[in-house]
Chain A
C-alpha cells in the first residue's frame, strides 16, 4: 500500500513542485474539483447518493487528519541527556541543560539524565562550565523530533559543534 502510494506520489510531486502548489493546497483543489464534478452531475439520480458518500468521506478524512495532527502535537517525548565520551568527543566538565525553559539538569562527566518535552520540537539550552565553575559557552538550539518516541542528545557532540548530536534512545 505504502509502495503504491509512494509510486503515485513520485509521479504527481514533480508537477506540483513545478506549478508551485503545496500538497495541502493540492488536496483542497482535488476536493473542490470532485465537488464541482458532482454538482455538474446533479441532474442524475445517482447525484444524491454520491454526494452523501462524498460528504461522509470528507468528514471521516477530516477526523482522521485531526487525529494525526493531535498525535503529532500532543506526543510526549523522553529526552535523554548524555554527557559520556563519544568517538573523539570528551565528556564536558559540567553542563546545565534545560528543555523549553524548564528545570535545568546538571550533568557531570559520565552522567545521564532525562527530561520530557511535548510536541514535535523543543528548545534546548546548554550552559557549559569550565573546571572553575564559570560559564564558558551557552548553546541554544531548536531540536525537531517529529513523531519519533524518544531521543538521546549527546552533549559532548553538541558542544563540539557537530550537527549529529541527536542519537537514538538508549532503550
Chain B
C-alpha cells in the first residue's frame, strides 16, 4: 500500500510540484484569467509542435532527442533563404519548410548513424552533436553565406559583405499561420467593439458570457498541431510505429524478431529532425524575429524541459504530457517574474527562482528515472534468482 502510494507520488512528482508552485504564484502575480489564457494559447501554438517532435525517438527507445536542434538549424536556413528571396506569407513559410526538409533529412541520417554507434548514451551524444553541428552551421551562416552561397539582399548581410546579421526580421511571415483564420473569443460585454470592426466579418467571433476581456486564438496553428497529434496516433499503429515500440521495449528481442533495429532508429531520428525543422519555422513565424546564431540554441532544452515537466520520462511520453508540460512550464515563465516582484520587490528574484526550480526539477526527474530503472532492473534480477531462503 505504502509502496503503491510512493510509486504514484514518484511517477507524478514533477507535474505535482509545478502545479503547487503555480497555485501559489498565480494569485501573487495578479494577472487576470483572460490574460493568462491568452498567453498560454499563444505559447501552446508556438511550442507544441517542437515538443511533439520528441515523441517518436522516445517511442523508439532513444530517449530525449537533444539532436532536435539540428532540425531547428535546418528550419532557420530555410527561413534565411526565403528572407533573401523576398518570399512572404504562407508560400514563404511552406517554401522554408521545403528548403529545410532535405537539410533536416541529411542531418537526421547523420545523427541517427552516430547514435547507433553510441547505443545507450543517445541523449548525451545528441547534446554534444548539437554543439558540433552548431559549429558547422555557424561556419555556413557566418562565412559561406554571401561569399560562396549567393545572398542578394544587402539587409541580410553584415557590413563586411559576407555572413548573416544576428537579428533578422521575419515581418513577411510574422503570424501568417496564426492569423489565417483570425479568431477572437470575447465576453458578451466586449463583443460590441469587435462587431463594429467591418461588421465583425474580418474574423471569427466566439462569445462566452462569463469571459471578461478578449482572447485571440491562433486557430490555424492549433489545427496544424491537432493534425500532427492525429498523425502521431496513426503512426503508432503502423508497421513502422509498432517496430519502433518493439525496439523501445527491447532491442535484442526486436532484432531476434527480424526488425531492422539500426535502420528503424535512424528513421525515428530523421522523422524527429524533420518535424523539429517545421516546429522551429512555426515557432519563429510566431516570434517574428530570427536570432541567427541563438534561436536554435534553447529549442532543444526548452522542449525537453517542458516535456519532462508534463510528466514524461526518458522512456515514456504521451501527447497529454506535451500539453501538460507546455502549460505548466510556460505558466511559470509568465507568472514567476511578476510573482517575484510582488513578493520581494524584484522581478529578477522571481526569474532566478523560475530558472532554479525549472531546471532543478528536470535534474530531479532525470535522477528519478535512473533510480527507477535501476530499481526495476534489481527487481527483475531478484525475480530471476527466485525466493530463496524466504527472502
Contact = CB atoms under 8 A, between A and B. Distances in A.
Interface of A: 63, 66-67, 70-71, 73-77, 118, 149
B91 A70 contact: yes
Interface of B: 82, 85-92, 94-95, 98-99, 152, 172
Report the 3 A-B pairs with minimum CB-CB distance, sorted nearest first.
Answer: A74-B91, A70-B91, A74-B87
Contacts of B89: 74, 118
A90 to B, nearest CB: 33
Contacts of A75: 85-88
B263 to A, nearest CB: 16
Given A76-B86, A76-B88, A71 B172 contact: no
A75 B87 CA distance: 4
Nearest to A118: B88
A70 B82 CA distance: 10
Given A63-B98, A76-B172, A70 B86 contact: no
Nearest to A147: B85
Nearest to B90: A74
- Among A63, A71, A73, the most chain B Cβ lie within 10 Å of the Cβ of A71
Nearest to B98: A67
A70 to B, nearest CB: 4
Contacts of B152: 149
Contacts of B92: 70, 74
Contacts of A70: 87, 91-92, 94-95, 98
B86 A149 contact: yes
B298 to A, nearest CB: 29
- Among B91, B98, B99, B172, the most chain A Cβ lie within 10 Å of the Cβ of B91
27 contacts: A63-B98, A66-B98, A67-B95, A67-B99, A70-B87, A70-B91, A70-B92, A70-B95, A70-B98, A71-B85, A71-B87, A71-B95, A74-B82, A74-B89, A74-B90, A74-B92, A74-B95, A75-B85, A75-B86, A75-B87, A75-B88, A76-B87, A76-B172, A77-B86, A118-B88, A118-B89, A149-B86
A63 B105 CA distance: 15
A66 B97 CA distance: 12
Contacts of A118: 88-89
Nearest to B172: A76
A61 B345 CA distance: 61
A29 B94 CA distance: 28
- Among B82, B86, B89, the most chain A Cβ lie within 10 Å of the Cβ of B86
Contacts of B172: 76
Contacts of A74: 82, 87-92, 95
Given A70-B95, A70-B98, A74-B91, 12 more contacts: A63-B98, A66-B94, A67-B95, A70-B92, A74-B87, A75-B85, A75-B86, A76-B86, A76-B88, A76-B172, A77-B86, A118-B89
Nearest to B94: A70
A15 B82 CA distance: 38
A147 to B, nearest CB: 10
